[in-house]
């Protein structure tokens, strides 16, 4: 089951709505904007614009008192649509490729989070991805910073398919669900 509470103002103030299913437009829920979020069960995927478009934000179980707690790219304070993020497995496996079309250098990651691709001998150019098991999030910069790109199970032949403006990913981590990971989810340091 999925449950999230969105608040119109920061620090869990103002109008609030509890959601249990995808919402392509939060303004239809009588909220002008989203100022804070409480995820009861999830994870969820938030989007900068309506109809699940624009910058993506992974929202795992926990409290998000203001926009910069769910967006570390600092390019947008807007969250206009939400959907549950389905986790299909407790195992994780992903292949990152240097070039579009699954060519060039390849890095395989299995059941691990990687805060720096450079530290593992891979460059920051990731132009295609195969998410073989589990759900992943890639970040523009090391240390899980910058724009977030979600990779649900499937193949992504070109960086445009994950709405990137360039083929740059410098860190990746698994998206975990309390169904399998009882100690919870990702915590920023």
* pLDDT tens column, 130-183: 999 999 999 999 999 999 999 999 999 999 999 899 999 999 999 986 544 444
Backbone angles phi, psi at 9, to 5 degrees: -115, 165
pLDDT at 30: 84
Secondary structure in 3-state letters for 89-140: CCCCEEEEEEECCCEEEEEEEECCCECCCHHHCCCCECCEEEEEECEEEEEE
Distance between CA atoms of residues 186 and 177, nearest Å: 10
Domains and CATH numbers, the chain: 3-84 (2.60.20.10), 93-174 (2.60.20.10)
Instruction: Give 77-109 pLDDT, tens digit per residue.
Output: 789 999 999 887 889 999 999 999 999 999 999
pLDDT at 177: 66
Backbone angles phi, psi at 11, to 5 degrees: 55, 35
Report the share of the chain in percent with pLDDT over 70.
92
Please state the rounded mean pLDDT for residues 44-52: 95
Sign of the Cα torsion 188, 7, 75, 56 reads positive
pTM: 0.86
Whole-number Cα distances in Å, 60 to 14, 72, 109, 161, 185? 22, 14, 21, 23, 6
Distance between CA atoms of residues 134 and 124, nearest Å: 22
Report the share of the chain in percent with pLDDT over 90.
78
Instruction: Give 7-41 pLDDT, tens digit per residue.
Output: 999 999 999 999 999 999 999 988 999 999 999 99
Please state the rounded mean pLDDT for residues 50-63: 93
pLDDT at 181: 46
pLDDT at 180: 41
């Amino acid at each position: 089951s999925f449950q999230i509470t969105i608040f119109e103002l920061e620090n869990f103030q103002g109008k609030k709505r509890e959601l249990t299913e995808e919402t392509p437009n939060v303004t239809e829920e009588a909220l002008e904007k989203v100022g804070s979020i409480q995820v009861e069960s999830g994870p969820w995927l938030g989007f900068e614009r309506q109809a699940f478009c624009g910058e993506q934000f992974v929202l795992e179980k926990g409290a998000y008192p203001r926009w910069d707690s769910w967006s570390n790219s600092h390019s947008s304070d807007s969250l206009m649509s939400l959907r549950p993020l389905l986790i299909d497995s407790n195992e994780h496996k992903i292949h990152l490729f240097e070039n579009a079309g699954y060519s060039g250098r390849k890095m395989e990651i299995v059941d691990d989070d990687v805060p720096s691709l450079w530290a593992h001998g891979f460059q920051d150019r990731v132009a295609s991805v195969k998410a073989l098991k589990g759900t992943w999030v890639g970040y523009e910069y090391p240390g899980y910073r910058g724009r977030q790109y979600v990779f649900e199970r499937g193949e992504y032949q070109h960086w445009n398919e994950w709405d990137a403006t360039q083929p740059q990913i410098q860190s990746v981590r698994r998206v975990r669900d309390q169904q399998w990971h009882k100690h919870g989810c990702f915590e920023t340091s």
